Amino acid sequence: MTSLTELGAALRSADRAQVEAILAVATPQELEAIEAALAGSSGESQQQRAEEVLAAWHREALPYQLPPCTRCKSHERWRTKGPCKCKKPDRSWHVWALVAGRGTGKTLAGAHWALEQALAKPGLVGAVVAPTHNDLRRITVEGPSGLVSVLPPDLIVPTPAGRAWNEAASAVNLVNGSVIHTLSAEHPDRIRGENLAWAWLDEMAAWSRLDYAWEQLEFATRIGTPQTLITTTPRPLALLRELMADLGTAVTRASLTDNPHLSETTRARLLKRYAGTRVGRQELEGEVLDETEGALVTLSLIDAGRMAAPKRLDRIVVGVDPSGGRAEIGIVAVGRQDEDLWILEDASLRGSPSNWGAVVVDTLAKHKGDRIAAERNYGGDMVEHVLRTTPGGAHIAMSFPTATRGKLLRAEFLQGMYEQGRVHHVDVMPELEDQLTTYTGITNEASPDRLDALVWACHELMMGNRGPSREDMLTSPVSMTRAAPSRIT
Ligand X SMILES: Nc1ncnc2c1ncn2[C@@H]1O[C@H](COP(=O)(O)OP(=O)(O)OP(=O)(O)O)[C@@H](O)[C@H]1O
Q: Which residues contact 259 (CB under 8 A, 6 or more apart)?
A: 62, 103, 104, 105
Region of 45-53, 55-63, 421-429, 443-451 interacting with ligand X (CB under 6 A): 55-63
Closest distance to ligand X from the beta carbon of 468 (Å): 41
Window 119-158: contact mask with ligand X (x via CB under 6 A): --------------------------x-------------
Report how far residue 406's alpha carbon sits from residue 473's, in angstroms, rounded to the nearest whole number: 9
Q: Are strands 340-346 and 329-337 parallel, antiparallel or unpaired?
A: antiparallel
Region of 177-185, 255-263, 413-421, 429-437 interacting with ligand X (CB under 6 A): 255-263
Whichever of 135 and 340 has its CB closer to ligand X, that residue is 135
Region of 79-87, 103-111, 208-216, 449-457 interacting with Mg ion (CB under 5 A): 103-111
232 scored as a contact of ligand X (CB under 6 A): no
Whichever of 107 and 184 has its CB closer to Mg ion, that residue is 107
**How many residues in the shown chain lie near ligand X by CB under 6 A?**
16
Closest distance to ligand X from the beta carbon of 204 (Å): 12
60 scored as a contact of ligand X (CB under 6 A): yes
Report how far residue 384's alpha carbon sits from residue 376's, in angstroms, rounded to the nearest whole number: 8
Region of 54-62, 129-137, 383-391, 430-438 interacting with ligand X (CB under 6 A): 54-62
**What percent helix, strand, coil does the chain show, rounded to 5?**
45, 15, 40
261 scored as a contact of ligand X (CB under 6 A): yes
Taking the CB of residue 161, how many other CB atoms lie within 10 A of it?
9
Identify the three-state secondary structure at position 169: coil
Closest distance to Mg ion from the beta carbon of 172 (Å): 18
Report how far residue 198's alpha carbon sits from residue 129's, in angstroms, rounded to the nearest whole number: 11
Report how far residue 122's alpha carbon sits from residue 117's, in angstroms, rounded to the nearest whole number: 10
62 scored as a contact of ligand X (CB under 6 A): yes
Taking the CB of residue 11, how many other CB atoms lie within 10 A of it?
18
Whichever of 142 and 362 has its CB closer to ligand X, that residue is 142
Nearest to 223 by CA among 251, 250, 199, 248: 199
108 scored as a contact of ligand X (CB under 6 A): yes
Please state the separation of Cα 362 from the chain's center in Å.
24
Closest distance to ligand X from the beta carbon of 273 (Å): 13
Report how far residue 436's alpha carbon sits from residue 448's, in angstroms, rounded to the nearest whole number: 9
Region of 69-77, 106-114, 249-257, 399-407 interacting with Mg ion (CB under 5 A): 106-114
259 scored as a contact of ligand X (CB under 6 A): yes
Chosen residue from 16, 49, 75, 106 binding ligand X by CB under 6 A: 106
Q: For the chain, how many residues are written? A: 489
Taking the CB of residue 470, how many other CB atoms lie within 10 A of it?
9
Chosen residue from 67, 68, 83, 105 binding ligand X by CB under 6 A: 105
Closest distance to ligand X from the beta carbon of 54 (Å): 13
Whichever of 205 and 461 has its CB closer to Mg ion, that residue is 205
Region of 104-112, 127-135, 250-258, 381-389 interacting with Mg ion (CB under 5 A): 104-112
Whichever of 106 and 422 has its CB closer to Mg ion, that residue is 106
Closest residue to bound ligand X by CB = 105
107 scored as a contact of ligand X (CB under 6 A): yes
Please give the helix or strand (H or E) that residue 280 lies within, else none: helix 278-283
107 scored as a contact of Mg ion (CB under 5 A): yes
Region of 105-113, 289-297, 363-371, 454-462 interacting with Mg ion (CB under 5 A): 105-113
Q: Are strands 227-232 and 249-254 parallel, antiparallel or unpaired?
A: unpaired
3-state secondary structure 40-86: HHCHHHHHHHHHHHHHHHHHHCCHHHCCCCCCCCHHHHHHHHCCCCC
Phi, psi of 346 (to 5 degrees): -110, 105
Closest distance to ligand X from the beta carbon of 271 (Å): 14
Report how far residue 430's alpha carbon sits from residue 292's, in angstroms, rounded to the nearest whole number: 15
Whichever of 221 and 233 has its CB closer to ligand X, that residue is 233
Q: Which residues contact 184 (CB under 8 A, 6 or more apart)?
A: 129, 130, 131, 132, 133, 135, 136, 190
26 scored as a contact of ligand X (CB under 6 A): no
Nearest to 125 by CA among 178, 202, 47, 174: 178
Whichever of 109 and 361 has its CB closer to Mg ion, that residue is 109
Chosen residue from 1, 14, 26, 61 binding ligand X by CB under 6 A: 61
447 scored as a contact of ligand X (CB under 6 A): no
75 scored as a contact of ligand X (CB under 6 A): no
102 scored as a contact of ligand X (CB under 6 A): yes
DSSP assignment letter at 17: H
Region of 102-110, 276-284, 428-436, 467-475 interacting with Mg ion (CB under 5 A): 102-110
Closest distance to ligand X from the beta carbon of 135 (Å): 10
Q: Which residues contact 429 (CB under 8 A, 6 or more apart)?
A: 343, 345, 346
Closest distance to Mg ion from the beta carbon of 27 (Å): 46
Give helix 430-438 / helix 449-463 axis angle, nearest 10°. Answer: 90
Where along the sequence are the contacts to Mg ion (CB under 5 A)?
Answer: 106-107
User: Which residues lie near ligand X (CB under 6 A)?
Assistant: 60-62, 65, 102-108, 145, 233, 259, 261-262
